[in-house]
Amino acid sequence: MVRQYTDKQLLARVKELDSFKNIPAGYWLLGVRSLDDIPNTFDDKIYLFKGEEFVLVTSATTNPGTNTLKQFEKVNKDGAAVLKADQWYYNVWKYGKHNGKVEALLQLGNKVQVYRDTDRDSKSEEQGALQSGYFGINFHPNTYDLSKGSGTNIGWWSAGCQVVNNIPNYKMMIKLLKNEKFVTYCLVDEF
C-alpha cells in the first residue's frame, strides 16, 4: 500500500509538477500510484480535496487489472492504457453513468495521456507509445451495485480507469463531486 502523507506533503508535490497551473477552487481528486504495484490489487490511494482542504482518502487502483494487461486486444489493440503519472488533468471528468449503469465521472472534458503497455505481464508500466486523447478513462467503483461491499480483485474493472473499491467512501465522494461542472484530477507516483 501507498505510504501515508500529510496534506502539506501532497499539496507540495502536486504544485511542483510541470503541468501545474493552480489548485482548483472546488472539489478535485488526487491519485497516488503505489511503487509496489501488486498485480490485480487495489494498492493505490485517491484523495478528495476541496481547494487545499483535505476531505477524504480511499483505496483504489490507478492501474489496469491483469485481465486487461494480458488480454489488452479485447479492449484496445494498441495495448493496455496506463494513465501517465506526475501529471495534472484539468477539467477532465463530468458526472454521468459508467457504461450507463453506475454513477461515475466520465472523461467528457479534456484529453488525457496514456501509455500503451503491450508486454502482457502482470505489471502496469509506463512504457510503449504515449497517446493523448479521449479513451474513456473514467472514475468509477468496482461494482455496478452500490449496495455491495468493497472488493479486492481488480479483474476487468480497470482497463485504464481510476477505480475505487471502498463503496461507502465512493458513495461519499460521488455525492460531493456530482455537482461540479467538471472535475480535475492529478495523478502522481508514490514519492
Q: Mean pLDDT across the stretch 155-177?
A: 96
Give the 3-state secondary structure of residue 98. strand
pTM of the model: 0.96
Other CB atoms within 10 A of residue 59 CB: 18
Please compute, for residue 13, the number of CA atoms within 13 A of its CA located in the half-sphere on the CB side. 18
Cell numbers that stand for 90 in this block: 484539468
Q: Does residue 150 surpass a pLDDT of 80?
A: no
Higher pLDDT, 150 or 190: 190
User: How confident is the model over 22-40, as pLDDT tens digits?
Assistant: 999 999 999 999 999 899 9
**What are the extents of the domains in the chain?**
7-189
